[in-house]
Amino acid sequence: MSEACQILHEWANGLQKFSHNSSTEELPKNGIYMVFEKGETAHGTDRIVRVGTHTGQNNLGKRIFEHLYKPKKDRSVFRKHIGRCLLADNPFLEQWNLDSTTKANREKYKNIIDFEKQAETEERVTQYIADNFSFVVFEVDEKAERLRIEEGLLSTITACEKCFPSKSWLGLKH
């Protein structure tokens, strides 16, 4: 299994890398994205730390930017998780975990959540992502195909004995 993962990593690392400076117009409309993080390596290349796709048609760029760069953690498990790691020893973590997407919840939590602190944390998450992450994409037009391939990539990486986080990986903090 790690041989397949080696091939996957070599191929993925050879694709054009994008970052927070990229524009959605440079990306295909439909496809799969794979994320790399500074300091994380495997197979002599950058390690794939995340694989993702989208269900809505023609939505790839929007989904990536929502996940990585939009300061709305309740719309992105990825951002929420990074925030949890950054807040690992911080009492604000408890508030960060609350979902303030809906109006009803914002009302409900208005005296509980420190929204200024929340905005600051969103900012930190965005900064962390901008400083540390890059991503590659490849085009897959059909939704069913995307989901199938995403699953295949994830199981290849999960089954690999050579893909593991560095000791200082932020993801381990939570």
Contact 60, 54 (CB under 8 A): yes
Reduce the DSSP state of residue 78 to 3 states and report it: helix
163 binds Zn ion (CB under 5 A): yes
**According to CB under 5 A, which residues from 5 to 44 bind Zn ion?**
5
| Shortest distance, position 160 Cβ to Zn ion, whole Å | 3
State which of positions 70-89 bind Zn ion (CB under 5 A): none
Q: Which residues face 18 on adjacent strands?
A: 135
Q: Does 160 bind Zn ion (CB under 5 A)?
A: yes
| In contact, 5 and 156? CB cutoff 8 Å | yes
Closer of 108 and 162 to Zn ion (Cβ) = 162
Cβ–Cβ under 8 Å, residues 11 and 105: no
Q: Least distance in Å: CB of 119 to Zn ion?
A: 37
Quick one: which segment of 94-102, 116-124, 141-149, 163-171 binds Zn ion (CB under 5 A)?
163-171
Tell whether residue 60 is a contact of Zn ion (CB under 5 A): no
CB 109 within 8 A of CB 98: yes
The answer to whether residues 85 and 171 touch, using CB atoms and an 8 Å cutoff, is: yes
Chain residues in the site for Zn ion (CB under 5 A): 5, 160, 162-163
